[in-house]
Structure 1
């Protein structure tokens, strides 16, 4: 990968020039980044709310960073032809979960602290023409622990539901009515449940506000999951629908004014079998005979004429397809309308004249990479003028093969413009391996290699075309999944291969039928070893020597004994050792060099000694070494060579120097080296090959150059030769 060879006529002066550059730049020497790998994209933005305006323009709310390559932060508007409205860009700094509108104003709810750069805690109003954030501000407390999940308008009143305890300067438990002009709370105050309750959905019809969610009472009366409230007075109706005992929540509501359609987690309603989906006659308050009986979970509903659209994550092996279905409003029969979606739930549905707009966590529609929004023809279900929604892309795990190729995992849908879903392999020159494509349906958070096999861990449910929850073994040549299926019920965050074993850590309630957050597998047989090594909370990092395995995470006990976030076991039999340094906060990364264990994480102290973000610990007795670079922030990744320790994370200073995201230390002197790279976000993963250092994370640029999610740097401190060339080239 030699692209910037130093001019031969200047080679005699290279040392002086390098010194001059170092003096000009201060102590840090920014490494020249290698041209490949070219970066990753994540066309997987989530849409949670859709609002179709009278002029055909469509407002999208959710969790995304760009629409068709145009920066948009969680809120965007599309023109009637599907293009991005370039003049409308309020944006929020957190997720948008609900939308409602009047003729001139769009109301936005979610979980954010700012809208359009203005302080707005989880609820805001936007001018429907210009996109400017209005002065309207109900003044809910900080978004921390407070969010708005549902909005509806009725004349000059805005109704809000969610999880909050105050709104418009007044105490309001999860449900409020707000003056649509002033932002003050109206006297209407039925109160839905308490601190552990929330309102997920609401509709206004016939002078009533009907609310659904997770609550046991409304207005001080027993009303479980569903209630009807007078829209003017706030008086709760006596109607009390009875759900099955195991019912958890109502998640979506829709109505045509005569019938109320209800979706959620329930098996029966008023003594009638209704699996997650029911219809209630609003005049009699009795369930109708309408009973589609889907298998799965429904997250969204919409009514359009004689049809009801349902979205979620469901399948009965027959008429329900890809998370969305069209049902006959009269008898519940499935209509022959079958969109082709790939991914997860459909969270929002908005029919209009001739189209059906879908939002959710899916990533592909009709074979095209769309992210979580699709506009479909209402008659044929064909994809019609849908943009691509992007969200943060990141390379969160890397493993370098002996032949120089590197396997990467994380959250992405493309690598260098080539479709790759959350896992890919790069050739030694940084190009994408064109033939190796296991494809995972969710994030790959950890990777390990052994004898031609790639072990992948994460939050996925399917990988390489097979059902594999959280952990899989993939053939390093073909990309096919092996038959090995350890049945993880949860998420894998850490993997390590050492001494013929695979060590697995994460947050999983079960593995092969036993409760554990840590496990060891024999690589020869594939069986889990019968060690009593469970942690009581997450395991985020694993490192090893020939005789010990070191484990880091957020646990307080390990193998039944007190171990604060760090522990070590004997690698021969899994017995817990006495090694017990005690960081005060979670450990995110571990590395071993010689007789030292390096730990990175969110901690400020280890064994009551100040050690911010990173620490060196004696591998034998657990004593904390004197080395203390003091990271202002936290360290998420560590990697070593024979001579250096590389640290990556979310920090702004290191060893009293302004140093962002990535740093390198000399293992001999423990000093911070001049080696550096300027990233526009933090680093989450590191890997070292014979010549290069690979850095992964949610960044978009390295040293001012476009390198989204991954960048390769050379090991040299010399910025002139950082492209890997030498004087003989």
Structure 2
């Protein structure tokens, strides 16, 4: 039955096109295969930070300069952004000129895509941090949003609005600490939308990641933050965004109030809603192995109800960072530079001048660089394709055909895949 459903999804996608949802991950009927497809292209240097899909076009952002087709016989100059065909992997002519990294992407209306990052110009025109591009590679000149500083690290488009998060302190010249909403057509700032984020005692206030609920009514934000307005929120906050304001909800958790390693003010790396919106999963770094703190771990929280929420489950790596998560209903996929999962009692041993040594605790299972856990229990599934670890996975995108992966290394599923790959549905 699972194979029949997967086949039907592929047929539907081929006839109607695929667009990445503006919120949450796409529900999938099964766990994807451990064997990547062989037709995806390769990014030959740097790292992939973001991916999204418009129709049958996959747009890839990051910090790189060269791309090759799946055979590696043809190489293309592509600086920080490129595109390929979802069905056959062919590299598209899409090649806008951006002078800095592309750290976030979101599908736009029509054949357009929103790009965020630390660039200052697009196709020679000054536009800092946020732009809208056509699939021909042209800059959409009517969209004039710009940030004052830093970068844009998270993007989502929904109902004629674009949400942007990052390290900026102003959008279009108006103060916004790391989170803003703009008009999807013009880029004009939504002046009534202000989360009033702050992080007293931290080096700066910024948003590392966010996600919109499937119905578009709630926005969950993680990063270097301690307050939303005057209300305490320890590194994670949830807002009702169905109206004109960023209305802070009374959902909260104290699970991330404690600091991990001293330099990690914002050790939460990514957050995703489940396809039905009933829960979120957060992944973290932390620089420490602790069975008590939520450092170097993944955690599930229910979204229903008000007040304090404790995690339903916690998945510990034993001291290795997790940097990306996808929640498809059939599985929760985790990517980072972890060696192990199911490893709350593992230890990270660091001696001066030597690389760290990681020792597994009882019950630990090897899942180098990528793995999957049961959404209900948080325990590791048998899925174990492996990935050369590097810094970690930066992007997962669930599509009807499978799971797209973007990272900084070139081995996936025991095969060469330069920083981009896709695991198909079985």
Global fold match (TM > 0.5):
yes
1 CA distance for matches of 2:60 and 2:270?
A: 18
Q: Secondary structure at the match of 2:283?
A: strand
Structure 1 position 139 matched with structure 2 position 93:
no
Cα deviation, residue 260, structure 1: 0.8
Match of 1:129 in 2: 87
2 CA distance for matches of 1:125 and 1:235?
A: 27
Q: 2:297 aligns with which of 323, 339, 356?
A: 323
Q: Residues 347 and 391 from structure 1, CA distance in 2 versus in 1: closer, same or farther, beyond 3 angstroms?
A: closer
Structure 1 position 287 matched with structure 2 position 285:
no
Q: 1:253 aligns with which of 207, 210, 217?
A: 210
Q: Secondary structure at the match of 1:390?
A: coil
Match of 2:375 in 1: 378
2 CA distance for matches of 1:303 and 1:138?
A: 31
Q: 2:54 aligns with which of 102, 118, 136?
A: 102
> Larger radius of gyration, structure 1 or 2?
1
Q: Secondary structure at the match of 1:342?
A: coil
Q: Secondary structure at the match of 1:140?
A: coil
Q: Secondary structure at the match of 2:92?
A: coil
1 CA distance for matches of 2:312 and 2:174?
A: 43
Q: Residues 316 and 203 from structure 1, CA distance in 2 versus in 1: closer, same or farther, beyond 3 angstroms?
A: farther
Match of 1:229 in 2: 182
Structure 1 position 307 matched with structure 2 position 286:
no
Cα deviation, residue 384, structure 1: 3.2
The aligned runs of 1:3-18 (5 Å cut-off) are: none
1 CA distance for matches of 2:127 and 2:55?
A: 27
1 CA distance for matches of 2:291 and 2:231?
A: 24
Match of 2:131 in 1: 176
Match of 1:588 in 2: none
2 CA distance for matches of 1:97 and 1:226?
A: 19
1 CA distance for matches of 2:194 and 2:316?
A: 39
Q: 2:310 aligns with which of 324, 330, 334?
A: 334
Cα deviation, residue 55, structure 1: 5.0
Q: Secondary structure at the match of 2:252?
A: coil
Q: 1:189 aligns with which of 130, 144, 156?
A: 144
Q: Which has the higher strand share?
A: 1
Check conservation: 1:343, 1:361, Cα contact below 8 A.
no
Check conservation: 1:105, 1:125, Cα contact below 8 A.
yes
Cα deviation, residue 369, structure 1: 3.0
Q: Secondary structure at the match of 1:200?
A: strand
2 CA distance for matches of 1:365 and 1:316?
A: 13
Q: Deviations over 1:306-331 (max 9, x none)?
A: 10111113598648474110001124
- TM-score, structure 1 normalization: 0.41
Match of 1:83 in 2: 35
Q: Secondary structure at the match of 2:42?
A: coil
The aligned runs of 1:27-176 (5 Å cut-off) are: 55=10, 80-116=32-68, 117-141=75-99, 146-155=100-109, 156-176=111-131
Q: Deviations over 1:527-569 (max 9, x none)?
A: xxxxxxxxxxxxxxxxxxxxxxxxxxxxxxxxxxxxxxxxxxx
The aligned runs of 1:676-687 (5 Å cut-off) are: none
Q: Deviations over 1:47-76 (max 9, x none)?
A: xxxxxxx6599xxxxxxxxxxxxxxxxxxx
Q: Deviations over 1:462-481 (max 9, x none)?
A: xxxxxxxxxxxxxxxxxxxx
2 CA distance for matches of 1:219 and 1:136?
A: 27
Structure 1 position 364 matched with structure 2 position 340:
yes
Cα deviation, residue 248, structure 1: 2.6
Match of 1:562 in 2: none
2 CA distance for matches of 1:391 and 1:353?
A: 25
2 CA distance for matches of 1:299 and 1:102?
A: 25
Check conservation: 2:302, 2:312, Cα contact below 8 A.
no
Q: Residues 255 and 191 from structure 1, CA distance in 2 versus in 1: closer, same or farther, beyond 3 angstroms?
A: same
1 CA distance for matches of 2:127 and 2:139?
A: 9
Cα deviation, residue 123, structure 1: 0.5
Cα deviation, residue 241, structure 1: 2.4
1 CA distance for matches of 2:10 and 2:295?
A: 31
Q: Deviations over 1:556-605 (max 9, x none)?
A: xxxxxxxxxxxxxxxxxxxxxxxxxxxxxxxxxxxxxxxxxxxxxxxxxx
1 CA distance for matches of 2:318 and 2:44?
A: 27
2 CA distance for matches of 1:191 and 1:346?
A: 30
Gaps of 5+ in 2: 1-8, 14-30, 69-74, 260-266, 343-363, 392-426
Q: 1:298 aligns with which of 250, 254, 268?
A: 268
Q: Deviations over 1:509-534 (max 9, x none)?
A: xxxxxxxxxxxxxxxxxxxxxxxxxx
2 CA distance for matches of 1:346 and 1:161?
A: 22
Q: Residues 316 and 344 from structure 1, CA distance in 2 versus in 1: closer, same or farther, beyond 3 angstroms?
A: closer
Check conservation: 2:369, 2:389, Cα contact below 8 A.
no
CA RMSD of aligned residues (A): 2.5
Cα deviation, residue 137, structure 1: 0.6
Structure 1 position 350 matched with structure 2 position 326:
yes
Q: Residues 121 and 339 from structure 1, CA distance in 2 versus in 1: closer, same or farther, beyond 3 angstroms?
A: same
2 CA distance for matches of 1:119 and 1:158?
A: 20
The aligned runs of 1:560-599 (5 Å cut-off) are: none
2 CA distance for matches of 1:264 and 1:340?
A: 20
Cα deviation, residue 81, structure 1: 1.5
Q: Residues 270 and 222 from structure 1, CA distance in 2 versus in 1: closer, same or farther, beyond 3 angstroms?
A: same
- TM-score, structure 2 normalization: 0.68
2 CA distance for matches of 1:107 and 1:126?
A: 7
Match of 1:72 in 2: none
Q: Residues 206 and 264 from structure 1, CA distance in 2 versus in 1: closer, same or farther, beyond 3 angstroms?
A: same
- Name the count of aligned residue pairs: 312
Cα deviation, residue 168, structure 1: 3.3
Gaps of 5+ in 1: 1-53, 58-78, 394-729
2 CA distance for matches of 1:310 and 1:185?
A: 34
